[in-house]
Amino acid sequence: MSSVSALDNIILNTDTYKHCHHSLYPKGTEYVSSYIESRGGIFPATMFVGLQAYIREHLLRPITLDDIDEAEAVTRAQGMPFSRENWLGILNDHGGYLPVEIEAVPEGTVLPTRNVLVQIINTDPKYAWVTSFFETALLRAVWYPTTIGTVSWMSKQIIREAFARTSDHPELLRLQLHDYGARGVSSQESAALGGLAHLVNFEQSDTVPGILAAMKYYNAVSPANSGPNSEHAGFTAWGRDHEVDALRNMLHTYRDAGFVLLLTDSYDHENAVKNILGKELKEEIQNFPGLVGARPDSGDPVQVTADTAEWLMDAFGYEVNSKGFKVLPPYLRVVQGDGVTFASLPQIYLELERRGMSAENAIFGMGGGLLQHYNRDSLNFGQKCNAVCVDGEWRDVAKQPTGATFKVSKAGRLALTKRDGEFVTVRRDSISPEENLLQPVYRDGHLLTKWDFTELIARSEAEVPEYYYYDVIKQMREQDDDSRVA
C-alpha cells in the first residue's frame, strides 16, 4: 500500500463509477474533448479563479506503481472493475502524468455565465477516456473557488456602490471586507481555495489556509492584512464586573500594533459602547496611536451596525463629508462580523445611508456566509463532453435533455473570443488562434502558463459592463427612485 494517503491518489480522486467508463466509448475513439462552464444561476457573471492551484497541487505529481496498487485494491473492494492496464500504460508511456491538455480563461477574468471557462482534451489517442476520468476533481477545483470568488467580487460591487454614494474615499475599497470563514467551512482545503479567491478582491483575511494558498500557488506577496482582535474567552475571563479592565488591557497590550478590535457584546453591547468606550475609555481611545474598532458580535446586523455607529458619534463626534454624510473620527470604526452575508450587506449600507452616515463608518467580516453557503448548483457548474474523434473523424457531441433546458450543452471544440467588446463562446474553427482567449495551461505533466496573483487582481478590477452586477446593487439604486417619488 502506498505511503501516500489515498486522499492524494489522483486515481482515487474521482467517483467510483468512473472506473468503468473507459469501455463505454465507441470503438476507435481517439480523442475526447470536454469543457467547463457556469450554466447560469444566482449571478449573471463569474470571476474565474482556482485552476492553477489544482494543477500545481495535483497534476504535477506523477502517479506511481504504489498508487495503482492502492487504487486497484480500493476500487475492486467496491465491486467496480479496475483497468490496471490503462494505468500502467500511463505510468510507462507518460511517466505517470495525465496525458491531457487543459486550456482556460486567464484567472481573475470576470465574464458572463454560459461561456466556456476550461477545455480539456487527451493528448494520446490510447487514453481518450482520461479526459472525463478526472472530471470530479477538476470540476470541484473550478466551481468552488470561482463561486466564492464571484460572491466576493459581487460583494465588492455592493461596497463600491455604497462608497460612491456616501464616501469620499474609494481607495479604501479593498480594506472593507474581511474573511473570517476558516471555522465555518467543511475542510481546510475549502478554506484555502475559498480564502485565496476572496483575496483577489480584498486584502483582509484571518483565514490562514487562504493566505498560504495564494502565496504557494500564485506567488502572492503579503496578500492579506489583519490585526489584534479579541474573543469572548479572553474578555469574559475577567468577569462581568471587570469588563472595562479587559477592554483597557487590550488597548494597552497592543498599543504599538496600531490597530485593535474590541468586542463589545460580551454582556450588554449598548452599555459597553455608550458607557465603557464612550465614557470610561474615551480618552484612551482618542489617544490610541492607530485605529480602534468597536465590534458587536450579535443582534440584527442591519440595526446594530447603524446603532453602534450613532452611539459612537454621540460620544466621539463626527465630521460631514463632501457628500453630506457623517463620518466617525479617523481613529474609530464599527467592525461588524456577525450575520454579515451577501444578502444582508446591502441592507446594512442602506440603513447607514438612511440615517445619514457614510459607508466608511463600518468595516465588515464574513464567515460561513462567504465561504460555505454555496454549492455547485449556485452557478450551475458542469463539465460536459463537446466533441470526440473516432477513427480520425471528429464528431460534435452535445447533451439536450428535455427536462432541464439549462443543461443543454455546447457542441464542438470551443473557443472564447470578444465581439463588440463582449465575451462570446464560439466554435474553435470559426476564429483564428490569435482571437482565442483560452490559453493552454497544462499539458502532459507540465505547467504551461503561470499566473501571478497581481495579474489575477488586475483582471478582476478591469472595467466590465454594469449588467454583470446590476442586480446586486439594484435595491440601492431603487432607493433613489423611491426617494424621488416621495
Q: Is the pLDDT of residue 453 over 60?
A: yes
Sign of CA dihedral 297, 303, 305, 307: negative
- Closest by Cα among 137, 131, 138, 118 to 48: 118
Cell of 419: 465581439
What's the whole-number average pLDDT of the chain?
94
pTM of the model: 0.95
Amino acid 370: pLDDT:
93
Q: Residue 484: its pLDDT value, please?
A: 42
CA 34, CA 102: separation in Å to the nearest integer?
10
Share of the chain above pLDDT 90, in %: 91
Cα dihedral 195→199→202→207 (10° resolution): 40
Contact 106, 462 (CB under 8 A): no
Write out the DSSP string of 350-400: HHHHHTTB-GGGEEEEESHHHHTS--GGGTTEEEEEEEEEETTEEEE----
Q: CA 283, 204, 327, 339 torsion: positive or negative?
A: negative
Q: What's at 237, amino acid-wise?
A: A
Q: Give residue-wise pLDDT tens across range 387-438.
A: 999 999 999 999 888 877 888 999 999 999 999 999 999 999 999 999 999 9
Going by the annotation, the residues of the binding site for beta-nicotinamide D-ribonucleotide are 206, 295-297, 337-338, 368, 376
| Domain boundaries along the sequence of the chain | 6-146+379-462, 155-371
Per-residue pLDDT reduced to its tens digit, 17-41: 999 999 999 999 999 999 999 999 9
Grid-cell match 506503481, residue found: 65
Nearest to 291 by CA among 331, 261, 318, 254: 331
Q: Are 257 and 230 spatial neighbours (Cβ–Cβ below 8 Å)?
A: no
pLDDT in tens, 302-312: 999 999 999 99
Annotated binding-site positions:
183, 206, 232, 295-297, 337-338, 368, 376
User: To the nearest 10°, the Cα dihedral for 460, 464, 469, 473?
Assistant: 100
Give the domain 6-146+379-462 fold. Answer: nicotinate phosphoribosyltransferase (3.20.140)
How far is it, in rounded angstroms, from Cα 358 to Cα 313? 12
Q: Which of these, 191, 56, 111, lies nearest to 460 by C-alpha position?
A: 111
| Terminal CA-CA length for the chain | 74
Please, are residues 58 and 137 in contact by the beta-carbon 8 Å criterion?
A: yes
pLDDT over threshold 50, residue 1:
no
Average of per-residue pLDDT across 166-194: 96
Strand residues in 193-302 grouped as ranges (E)? 259-263, 291-295
Rounded to whole angstroms, how far apart are CA atoms 446 and 468?
34
Mean pLDDT in residue range 429-455: 97
pLDDT of 280 > 50? The answer is yes
Contact 228, 260 (CB under 8 A): yes
- Asked whether the beta carbons of 296 and 334 are under 8 A apart, the reply is yes
Q: What is the pLDDT of residue 3?
A: 44
Digit-coded pLDDT (tens) for 133-177: 999 999 999 999 999 999 999 999 999 999 999 999 999 999 999
pLDDT digits 0-9 by tens, 40-77: 999 999 999 999 999 999 999 999 999 999 999 999 99
pLDDT of the residue at 400: 84
Residue ranges for the known binding site for diphosphate are 183, 232, 295
Grid cell in block for residue 265? 457584546
155-371 has which CATH code? 3.20.20.70
